[in-house]
Structures are given as C-alpha cells and as structure tokens.
Amino acid sequence: MLRWRKVATIIRREYLIRVRTKAFWISTVLVPVMMLAFTVLPTLMMSRTGGSYTVAVVTGNDALYAAFERAIGERTAVEAGRGAGDAAKGEAAGPRAGDVVVRLHRVAPAPDAAAQRLMLKRQVVAKELAGILVLPETVIADGKADYVATNVSAVRLMGILERSVDAAVVYLRLTSAGVPAEKVEALTARADMRPVKIGQDLTESKEAAFEKSFVLSYILTLALYMTMMFYGYYVMRGVLEEKSSRIVEVIVANVRPMELMLGKIFGVGAVGLTQYAIWVLAAMNLAVPGMMGLASMEGSSALLSPLLLVFFVVFFVLGYFQFASFYAAIGAAFNTEEEAQQMQTVASMVMALPLVMMFPVMSNPDSTLSVVLSLVPLFAPVLFFMRMTVQMPPTWQIVLCLVLLVGSIFAIARLAAAVYRVGILMYGKRPTLREIVGWIRSS
C-alpha cells in the first residue's frame, strides 16, 4: 500500500533539487548544441573535401582522351551540384567551396615508359600532381587502366575519374560498333530508382530518401537511449548519495523504501520530461536552427509526425522507468560509486544491446526477427521506437509491445524494490541470505 502523499513529497524534493542546479540549465543548453554539432559538423567536413586536383593523363589515343575530357567535364559539374547543361555557366561563375575541380594535363606516352612514369611519380610526390591516370590503347578492349597517386582513398576524386574512364571507354566501344555519336548519351543514360515510402494508411511520401530517414531514425533513437541512460544513472547516484550520507536511515523511519524508490524515479524522470519540454518549446518558438534543420530535411516532415513525438515521450517514460529501476537496485546494492561502477558497466552493456541490433532492424523492420526482438521489453524502448521511425508497425504490435513493457516494468520494479529494501540499509557487509529472507518476510 503506497501513501502517495509521501511519494509526492519525495518527488517534489528530487525534482526541485535538480531543476534548481546550474548543471541542469547548462545541460539543457549544451545537449542541443552538441546534437547540432554532431549533425552539422560531418556535413561541414564533407563539404570541405572538395578542392582542385591536377591529374596527368598518359595516353596516345586522341579519341580516347577527347571522350574522357568530355566525360570528366560533365562529371565535375554534376558533382558540384549544377546540371550538366550548366557546365559552361558554372565555369564562368568559378568553382565554389566543396566543388571538385579536376585539371587535366595530357602527357603523350614516351618511348621509355618506365622513365616517364618515374618522372611523373616524382611530380606526384612533390605534390605538383594529384595523380597519374594511365590510359593505354588496350583499355578499350580489356577495360584496365591504372591510377597512380599517394592518396588512393580520395573518394570523390576517384569516383569522378573512374566513372569518366568508364564513360569514355563505353563511348568508344559503341561508336566503333557503329552507333551514331549523338545517340550514345541517350543509350547510356542511367536508370534511377526512386524510393517511395507508404504508411499504414497507404499514403505515399515519395521524397522520403532512405538515407535521410536513416539519419533521423538514428538521431531520435540515440537521443532516446542516451536520455534514458543519463537519467537512470542520476537515480543510481541519488540512491548512493542517500546511502553514503546515511540520511536514508532517518528517512526510512517515515517513508517505506518502495515509496522512496518510486518518488526518486518519478522525480528524476520529471526532470527529464521538463528538459524535453524546454527543448520542444524552444524548437517550436525560437526556431533553434538544429531542430529546424532536422524538420526541414527532405522527407523528414513526414517522419516527425506528432504521433511519433507522442510515442517518443511514451517510450522515454517507460524505458526510463525500466532502466531507473535497475539503476536504483544497483545503487542500493553497493556502498560507493566506485563499487557500483562495475555493475553499472555490465548493466549498461546489456542495455546497449539494442543499439547493436539497431542496424539490422532498421534495414529490415518487418522481418520476424525484428518484430520479435523489438517486442522484448528490455529492447522495446529502443528497437520498437526505431521501427516506428522507419515504418509505423500495425496497431496490434504497438498494443502488445506496450502491454509487455508495462508488465515487465512492474516485475522489474518489484524486484528492484526488494533489493532496494534490503540494500539501502546495508553498510559494509553483504547481507546474508537469512537476512534477505527475513526482510522479505517482514515487509
């Protein structure tokens, strides 16, 4: 029998003592900034991978060189985000940051191929050249060309060169087979597949680029997991603080351990919800660039539906409660943070399991394995929510998932309360089995 007035007193204390700290407000500001940094920095870094490259092209075949030069002219323009037709205009406007500009330096093959190659290699090492592309006569037949460079992992440059060589070779093969030159482009045009996502209500959202929905799922799920961990850890620290300051001895005279545990979990959880509320309000009213960035990302508007936000909170609350019960029990079972640390590491590894399973589940959210795994209560907050971000599961699964999760929370909370009951008043010595039995019987 719980006395909610006592629980409310504990909740009030736990809540106020945390919300009144500077640390709370600092983390409230810092977390979105960090999130923003995590999403924006990689983009910025990617855009810095452009640059200007001079590549020596060793070939004796004029037709091949011409085809290659044309192909690369189209490719660098395309890479820069301008249409192939705008290549000339782009040239006039000059390269922009993040563009890949390739300057070709044609070299006719010398009689002494080895000496020529050695000389060019010196230029590469001296950084006068980015690399040497060797296009022998035989490339048209066997498709084998060499690219010699110090850095063979410059992904974008390599991609451009490879596709240009490919295009040039195909062009020559087709024209020599009698295909009119002006028809080659039409014949070799790429076929694009457009991903179309449908929801349970059969509506199509065709812009939902999977790459972007992946990023959003990942960010949301990770945020869910991190906050659950973070606030769960808070609960453990709170329990340990009460134990080490011995205040628990004074409080349990008037508050049952179950009331104390629930008050603590609810109070700390309310702090977490407050933080979410601040973030959401700030994002809606102040148009925090990061949040807006997410929302305006192509196709993500469909993903960031109000329903999903509701489930985000639901899974945070349930998942947090599950984690927090574990952490409360761990805190109660040990005396110092150092001692608890080891157990806490094991626990967080177990709880990180769903993160490992995230990718398989994300790529195949409807497989039997994904469905079963995501229904396991321990994994559900992360995996089931992850499935929701990719594709809303059928209603019966949602109901089943929530029922299982709530049931599991009750079981875990009961168990945690038993450990808590025994643990909070044990100092130094491990409780004997007889003591534990005595406690359970007496409570």
| 48 backbone dihedrals φ, ψ, rounded to 5° | -85, -5
> Binding residue for another protein (CB under 8 A) from 87, 219, 251, 376?
251
Q: Which of 29, 46, 93, 247 binds another protein (CB under 8 A)?
A: 247
Partners of residue 103 on adjacent β-strands: 54
Binding flag, residue 270, another protein (CB under 8 A): no
Q: Which two tokens stand for residue 16?
A: 């106020």
Residues 416-435 that bind another protein (CB under 8 A): 425, 429, 435
Nearer to another protein, 17 or 196 (CB): 17
- 101 close to 93: Cβ distance less than 8 angstroms: no
- Does the protein bind another protein through residue 17 (CB under 8 A)? yes
Q: Using CB atoms within 10 Å of the CB of residue 145, give its burial: 0 to 12 exposed, 13 to 18 middle, 19+ buried.
A: buried
Residue positions counted in the chain: 443
Identity of the residue, 210 or 439, whose beta carbon is nearer to another protein in the bound complex: 439
Radius of gyration of the chain (CA): 31
- Binding another protein (rule: CB under 8 A), the pick from 112, 137, 211, 249 is 249
Q: Which of 48, 106, 183, 246 binds another protein (CB under 8 A)?
A: 246
Give yes or no for residue 439 binding another protein (CB under 8 A): yes
Binding mask 183-222 for another protein (x = CB under 8 A): ----------------------------------------
Q: Is 403 helix (H, G, I), strand (E, B) or coil?
A: helix
Q: Which stretch binds another protein (CB under 8 A): 5-13, 125-133, 181-189, 199-207?
A: 5-13
* Cβ-Cβ contacts under 8 Å for 372 (sequence gap 6 or more): none
Binding range to another protein, per CB under 8 A, among 3-11, 126-134, 146-154, 355-363: 3-11
Cβ neighbors of 71 (< 8 A, separation 6 or more) are 163, 164, 165, 167, 168, 171
Q: Does 10 bind another protein (CB under 8 A)?
A: yes
Q: Per CB under 8 A, does 252 bind another protein? A: yes
Contact positions with another protein (CB under 8 A) in 72-101: none
What distance in Å separates the CA atoms of residue 119 and residue 107, rounded to the nearest whole number? 12
Separation of alpha carbons 117 and 112, rounded Å: 9
| Paired tokens of 31 | 């977390």
**Footprint on this chain of another protein (rule: CB under 8 A):** 6, 9-10, 13, 16-17, 21, 241, 245-256, 425, 429, 435, 438-439, 442-443
